[in-house]
Amino acid sequence: MKRTHHCSELRLEHVGQKVALAGWVQVYRDHGGIVFIDLRDREGITQVVFDPQHNAASAELAHTLRAEYVIAVEGVVRQRPAGTENPKLPTGAIEVLVHKLDILNPSDTPPFQLDELANEDLRLQYRYLDLRRPAMAKNLRLRHLAAKAVRDYFDDHGFLEIETPILFKSTPEGAREYLVPSRVNPGKFYALPQSPQQFKQMLMVAGVERYFQLAKCFRDEDLRADRQPEFTQIDVEMSFITREDMYALIEGLLARVWQTTRGETIPTPFPRMAYWEAMERFGVDKPDTRFGMELVDLTKDFAGSQFKVFRGAIEAGGVVKAINAKGLARATQGQIETLTETAKSFGAKGLAYIKVEGGEWKSPIVKFFSDAEKQALAEKLRIEEGDLILFGADRRDIVWEVLGRMRLIVADMINLPRKGWNFLWVVDFPLITYDREARRHLSTHHPFTAPVAEDIPLLDTDPTKVRGQHYDIVLNGVELGGGSIRIHQPALQKKVFEQVLQIPPAIAQSRFGYMLQAFRYGAPPHGGIALGFDRLCAILAGTNNIREVIAFPKTAKAVDLMTDSPGEADPRQLRELHIKVDLES
């Protein structure tokens, strides 16, 4: 039977027409021998009616139907009787009186109700059923629309979509990789790419000039709600550009995606903020700028304080900062203790605070403050009745981390309104970071980022003061993606590898030798960016869980519950790969 319409298509203008529909039984209702079925396909729902007075055979067969049976029907569209319309459905003004029913396939009783939100593990185990739910079908459609908008936009701007290899080589400097043994090269391994970074730079050397792809990438890391071991990113690289060109390109892309998927216009250009300013004001390099509660620096005010904790932190080269959680003086002692333990988990030694209640500043630390220090606090933090002041006094990076986290936590505690789409470019990141544990310099992002031209001499004297031509695009406190202008001069790239990052020449040659060689054959200035497509789709769909916008995701333990993977390898396969499994070491 060929369908004539889908299940969200019929309207009053179709009354009297003969139609053929197919789909799944969503709801079965028996009203005194007359059977009503909500028939569902991927587009929506149509009510179909089996009346024994109209067609006894079909009505009798309809009594055997159950939820999720797959059926096809033929019948005539008629207007629903007055008072029985369903305004919640696009098809709610009509129904189909059936004269022919085919049961295409029966169904076992589903392990959960498709119109209810079941346990996520159960949903993932029976993902093929979960995807029948309208909410999930809507998410898949949204993802399709977003992908199409991306492809259309880049095609309109002269980009070529080019696929890069999935089997790559290991580059252990980054996150943990998935290794793939090579049977034909015993003892050697491929690595699944964390990014097409090096290939897309080679495409610029090849003269492609404008490249993009929706790239599959892989990272063997601990998972969170917004992470998966395999993920999709919008990968972009362009030649002969500056950072300004990239800002304009990506702003246009996001405007197109928002218009296509949500029908909303987002204003451009996006504001920009230097990395240092973001950290000083918000404690994070991906600030949610929909609300204030900014970090206030009090270091100068407490430089000579009688409060030893503050003075000691400053004398050790640290800082004193605070945030004002407006209206949170009502926090219980238990909540304060929870905040304190959270602060300790991020490196703080404790969490000093002041509650402003009944016209008093309630805290054991207030007695150590001078009148000038109290006045500075009152003015800079705009302290009022009902406020809760939270302090950080330590190394600058620890204070950033602690108060940046506290800011988000207390915003949730007081239900601070956060509405709208606040896009932001964060720029001027440090090119190099010093790792205290490893006692060496590391790339803040990756070793291919170009330094700001006027900072290049600092590579020889103080690499941590060199700004990189890196940029992150942030939305409502979420990093959508990041990129940079790349190093395209072989001598400078070699210097960063060997002199700054201290990668031994032999290792640099084995990992990146082909890049250095390629750059000697006329590499153009180029730059790029990668945006997390799964995370982007989750934001568009209004969910914090990217598993909701991926057809077949893994759990937090990197397991596919539907296929029960990963699984054990056959002994013959392991022998061919020269691999021995040792679970005890």
Q: For the beta carbon of residue 128, count every other beta carbon within 10 angstroms.
A: 10
- Residue 448: closest CA among 346, 388, 516: 516
pLDDT reported for residue 82: 95
Residue 232 confidence (pLDDT) above 90: yes
Confidence of residue 584 (pLDDT cuts 50, 70, 90): confident
Query: Cα separation of 145 and 131, whole Å?
Result: 17
Handedness of CA 257, 260, 262, 264 (dihedral sign): positive
Residue 222 confidence (pLDDT) above 90: no
Quick check: do 12-105 and 291-414 share a fold? Answer: no
pLDDT reported for residue 116: 84
Query: Cα separation of 324 and 321, whole Å?
Result: 10
Residues 6+ apart with CB under 8 A from 99: 54, 55, 58, 74, 75, 76
Residue 173 confidence (pLDDT) above 80: no
pLDDT reported for residue 157: 98
> Do the bridges between strand 44-50 and strand 94-105 make them parallel or antiparallel, or are there none, so unpaired?
parallel
CA 134 to chain centre: 22
Residue 225 confidence (pLDDT) above 70: no
CB distance 556 to 221 below 8 Å: no
Q: For the beta carbon of residue 446, count every other beta carbon within 10 angstroms.
A: 18
Question: Which amino acid, residue 46?
Answer: T
Question: Residue 260, SS3?
Answer: helix
The tens digit of pLDDT for each residue in 377-404 reads 999 999 999 999 999 999 999 999 999 9
Domain boundaries, the chain: 12-105, 117-268+523-579, 291-414
Residue 223 confidence (pLDDT) above 80: no
CATH class of 12-105: mainly beta
Tokens of 532: 């997390």
Residues 6+ apart with CB under 8 A from 19: 4, 5, 10, 74, 75, 76, 77, 96
Confidence of residue 226 (pLDDT cuts 50, 70, 90): low
Tokens of 367: 């007695």
Q: For the beta carbon of residue 27, count every other beta carbon within 10 angstroms.
A: 13
Give me the phi and psi of 197, to 5 degrees please.
-45, -55
Give mean pLDDT, residues 515-536: 96
Confidence of residue 26 (pLDDT cuts 50, 70, 90): very high
Give mean pLDDT, residues 258-286: 97
Confidence of residue 439 (pLDDT cuts 50, 70, 90): confident
CA atoms in the 13 A half-sphere facing the CB of 546 = 23
pLDDT reported for residue 520: 94
Give mean pLDDT, residues 314-333: 94
Q: What's the chain's average pLDDT?
A: 94
- Residue 476: closest CA among 258, 261, 290: 290
Place of tokens 């929909």: 290
Write down the pTM of the prediction.
Answer: 0.93
pLDDT reported for residue 314: 96
CATH class of 291-414: alpha beta
Question: Residue 109, SS3?
Answer: coil
- Residue 564: closest CA among 124, 9, 255: 124
pLDDT reported for residue 556: 87
Residues 6+ apart with CB under 8 A from 476: 288, 290, 418, 420, 421, 422, 539
DSSP H or E stretch at residue 368: none
pLDDT reported for residue 438: 78
- DSSP assignments along 456-506, one per residue: TTHHHH-GGGPBBSEEEEEETTEEEEEEEEBP--HHHHHHIIIIIS---HH
Among the ranges given (175-189, 427-441, 472-486), the one the predictor scored with the smallest mean pLDDT: 427-441
Alpha-helix runs per DSSP H in 178-269: 197-205, 243-262
Query: Cα separation of 472 and 462, whole Å?
Result: 24
Query: Cα separation of 172 and 169, whole Å?
Result: 10
Domain 117-268+523-579 has CATH 3.30.930.10: yes
> Do the bridges between strand 360-362 and strand 353-357 make them parallel or antiparallel, or are there none, so unpaired?
antiparallel
Instruction: Write the DSSP symbol of residue 14.
Output: G
Residue 1 confidence (pLDDT) above 80: no
pLDDT reported for residue 99: 96
